[in-house]
Amino acid sequence: MKKLQSLALEQKEDAKHGESFFPVQKYVTWLVPDYPVVTTHWHDEAELTLITKGSCRYQIDLVEYEVKEGDLLFIPPLLLHSVALNQEKELVSETFVFHMNFLGGNSTDICSTRYLTPIMNQEISMPYLITENHPVYASLHKIFDQITSLYDATIDGYELALKAMFLQAVFLLLQYSEKKTDSESESSSDKLKQVLDYIELHYENAISVSELAKLCYFSDYHFMRFFKKHMNMTCIEYINNLRLEKAVEMFEQGNTSILDVSLSVGFHNLSYFHRAFKKKYNMTPLTFIKQLKAD
């Protein structure tokens, strides 16, 4: 059985992108009407993405971008980002996730101190969306194609060539970068990260709007508007999505007790868990378990 595509990724991803000595990983994202969203998350690595089919809306650092086939995106480390399918039947994209330390971000040379470390610390604002009209588009697209060929070939020394390609991509984007200043958007992003971290740590327990609002020093009303604006769903919807994703993980790990899983992820009403699971995945938990066993 094909693993269900995540709609509620852990907001601070703990996934291992590549190996410790080679922190580079290629991903193919496929969004369809049944699974139309990659929810807001962030991670320590940077991303370089090519949209190969369809169109979508990216939200990067709380700003929305309309993205279409052929567009390139660069997402620096630690920035909140999400993806939502437009009215089309599907979206396909290819993404290389890589840690800046692979490029020398943890060294003490001039490249690290003047460029890589400031990028990692969000002190430099890079262009996130690179369309065909952007001056750097043709060169960056060529680099992306070269990275794809090298990554798939895995010939001797390909790691050296990949490192050089990623450094060249950063160099090209730096020509259109600027120093960042404190902004309301940055403050909102920090508040949202704090809320999402809190939910990740406490999703098994009852979480009230009031306790989340207090983290941001907002009223309940202001907080609910703030969350819905930036996450495109209510905080209750987000919490339930996360709980359901955790339930799927437990089923995939071999736990077949629906009651135990329901309680473990924070659903203390079994009937409600059944309804929520079926609404999200178009099948009951029991059907999902049976399909896992069949595979």
Closest CA to 143 of 171, 119, 101, 178: 171
Extended strands (E) in the chain = 24-31, 37-41, 46-53, 55-60, 63-68, 72-75, 81-85, 91-98, 124-125, 129-130, 178-179
Q: Quick check: 292 pLDDT over 80?
A: yes
Tens digit of each residue's pLDDT (9 = 90 or more) over 81-108: 999 998 878 999 999 999 999 999 888 8
Tens digit of each residue's pLDDT (9 = 90 or more) over 39-70: 888 899 999 999 999 999 999 988 999 999 99
Tens digit of each residue's pLDDT (9 = 90 or more) over 173-230: 999 998 776 555 568 888 999 999 999 999 999 999 999 999 999 999 999 999 998 8
Tens digit of each residue's pLDDT (9 = 90 or more) over 215-268: 999 999 999 999 998 888 899 999 999 999 999 999 999 998 999 999 999 999
Give 17's pLDDT tier (boundaries 50, 70, 90): low
Mean per-residue pLDDT, 268-278? 94
Q: Could you write out the DSSP letters of every residue in 172-207? A: HHHTT-EE----HHHHHHHHHHHHHHHHHHHTTS--
pTM of the full structure: 0.76
Pick the CATH number of 236-295 from 3.30.559.10, 1.10.10.60, 2.30.30.830, 2.40.37.10: 1.10.10.60
Q: First-to-last CA distance in the chain?
A: 6
AA letter at 82: S
Closest CA to 44 of 21, 15, 7: 15
Q: Quick check: 10 pLDDT over 60?
A: no
How is domain 24-179 classified at the architecture level of CATH? Sandwich (2.60)
pLDDT at 97: 96
pLDDT at 196: 92
pLDDT at 253: 93
Closest CA to 23 of 50, 46, 51: 46
pLDDT at 232: 82
pLDDT at 7: 34
pLDDT at 105: 83
Give 14's pLDDT tier (boundaries 50, 70, 90): very low
Residue 273 token pair: 């868990």
Please list the residues that pair with 38 across neighbouring strands.
83
pLDDT at 152: 87
Q: Tokens 């996730």 appear where? A: 97
